[in-house]
Amino acid sequence: MGKSAADRHAELRTWLGGVAELAEAVTGAGSVRSLLDLVAKTACRLMGYDFCAVLLPDSRREVLAIQGACGLSSTYIAGVNAQHPVRIGSGHPGEAPSSRAFRTGRAVALSDIAAETDYAWGGVADEQGYRSIIAVPLTTTGSCLGTLTCYRAEVHRFSDDEQELLTTLANQAAIAIETARLRERERRTIGELRQLNDSLREQHALLQRTGDIHRQLTEMALRGEGVDGVARALAALLGRPVLFEDPYGSPLAAAGPDGAVPCDRFDGIEHIATLRRSITHDPGTGTVEVRAGAAGRPWVTSPVVLDKDVVARMWIPGESAELGPLGRRAIEHAAVVAALEMLRGRTAVEVEWRLRGELLTDLLAQSPAALATIVARAGRLGHDLHRPHAVLVVRADSALEPDPNRRVDAQRQVLSAVHAVASGQSPRPLAARHGDDVVVLWPLDGPAVDGSA
């Protein structure tokens, strides 16, 4: 007896409701995996199957794996996917119905798997409890996405009408799956674009802040505030104390977040001597974090490089990670500006040393022409040659070089040390290079000469 009109209308409404549910799932926020489960569930409900599965190929299109299911146990799914995978064959005997349907694009049905001697999944079929199976391709736009594979617990002959109806459902499901994949890719792309946009905003803000840092340090350099000014500006930018020292460990400048501080009162300066021995003087080392022992206080240090030589070094207490990208940029900019300040100071010192060297050479040579103006020339440099002077001759030895791998001008080091002592004396002593030695004319009626000079 045929179905009544009411039954046909009810069946049609059920089918339309199932297809509408698939379409609604596509437009919702669910994942592709949840849609695959819904496809299997819809096939069970509309066609009266006991179990259903959606199988999709792997990236190399060698194996079909169960990605969505209804009624199948997790043990069965894991067993098929891991231990008895459905390999995509080429028509060989024993090829799985799902593989054949995927490969040929046509429905494949087995009414009784127990009668199929080549069926390799009989063991797991018994465990799950099915006797008949049908697989139809999930086809869209000429390509096969996978298969919709359905099972009955009893022996069942799949009629042509049933196969055609299930194929129609599979086609609708394939459209839904493809659309869901596109939407998922869209969401992923939108998320990536948002992340990229956020990253660009952060980079733009970082560039703006970096520009502000560069401008502050450049303005300080234009005002000629020297390394002291660099230390003050960097300490204010970082909110941390900053110490500059020369390559030999002598402090050059120190500052805290609120302004300059005396170098000898810089917090932690007594530990830097130990840390200094643990770092390399290679200009290429850049900004690094060091600490004295595993539990020691961390310090960030960065070289100031001029003409491939380390001419100074910065010390900042705290961990490098806490500085962030802006802090590290500030240190890099400060190192460049400090190098320029030291170049400017070095140029002035070189001119001053050259003039004093010429003065000392003329004085020792006793040239009549030079002696006529030598007192006036000395006066312009702050020296009073009318006073009696003691003559000191200093020569550097290898003990002044703390690191044999460093390129050290020992004579310059001695001259710098002498000038550091002499700058605090009045009348001012005259010190200059003469051959391989440093010659010092020390006023006898001035303050007592320190023996370490």
- pLDDT, tens digit, 9 for 90 and up, residues 327-366: 888 888 888 888 888 888 777 777 777 887 787 788 877 8
Which contiguous run of DSSP H or E holds residue 343?
Answer: helix 324-365
pLDDT higher than 50, residue 309: yes
Q: Where in the chain is the domain with CATH 3.40.1840.10?
A: 223-342
How confident is the model at residue 450, as a pLDDT? Answer: 47
Q: Which of 51-60, 342-351, 423-432: highest mean pLDDT?
A: 51-60
Residues 375-393: what's their mean pLDDT? 83
How confident is the model at residue 409, as a pLDDT? Answer: 64
Q: What is the largest CA-CA distance in the chain?
A: 142
- Of residues 297 and 40, more confidently modeled: 40
Residues 168-174: what's their mean pLDDT? 87
DSSP state of 111: S
Under the banding of pLDDT at 50, 70 and 90, the label for residue 11 is low
Under the banding of pLDDT at 50, 70 and 90, the label for residue 21 is confident
Lowest mean pLDDT among 264-273, 354-363, 436-445: 264-273
Q: How far is CA 173 from CA 19, 22, 66, 168, 432, in A?
A: 8, 7, 15, 9, 93
Going by C-beta distance under 8 Å and a sequence separation of 6 or more, which residues neighbour residue 303? 281, 283, 285, 286, 310, 312, 313, 314, 335
> How far is residue 203's CA from residue 147's CA, in Å, rounded to a whole number?
47
- Of residues 405 and 15, more confidently modeled: 15
Asked if residues 81 and 65 have their Cβ atoms less than 8 Å apart, the reply is: yes
How confident is the model at residue 407, as a pLDDT? Answer: 47
Mean pLDDT of the chain: 82
How confident is the model at residue 400, as a pLDDT? Answer: 47
> How far is residue 411's CA from residue 433's CA, in Å, rounded to a whole number?
8
Residue 121: what residue type?
W
How confident is the model at residue 107, as a pLDDT? Answer: 94
Lowest mean pLDDT among 175-189, 267-281, 425-439: 267-281
Q: Where in the chain is the domain with CATH 3.30.450.40?
A: 17-184
- Of residues 181 and 367, more confidently modeled: 181
- pLDDT, tens digit, 9 for 90 and up, residues 139-163: 988 789 999 999 999 999 999 999 9
Asked if residues 251 and 245 have their Cβ atoms less than 8 Å apart, the reply is: yes
How confident is the model at residue 452, as a pLDDT? Answer: 40
How confident is the model at residue 272, as a pLDDT? Answer: 79
380-402 b/e (C-beta count within 10 Å ≥ 16 → b): eeebbbeeebeebeeebeeeebe
How confident is the model at residue 157, as a pLDDT? Answer: 94
Chain position carrying tokens 């009073």: 384
- At the fourth CATH level, the homologous superfamily of domain 223-342 is YNR034W-A-like (3.40.1840.10)
pLDDT higher than 70, residue 280: no
How confident is the model at residue 284, as a pLDDT? Answer: 64
Residues 402-410: what's their mean pLDDT? 53
pLDDT higher than 80, residue 6: no
Percent of the chain with pLDDT over 90: 19
How confident is the model at residue 276, as a pLDDT? Answer: 78
CATH number of 17-184, picked from 3.10.105.10, 3.10.20.600, 3.30.450.40, 3.40.50.2300? 3.30.450.40
Lowest mean pLDDT among 61-75, 99-113, 247-261: 247-261
Asked if residues 290 and 281 have their Cβ atoms less than 8 Å apart, the reply is: no
How confident is the model at residue 321, as a pLDDT? Answer: 87
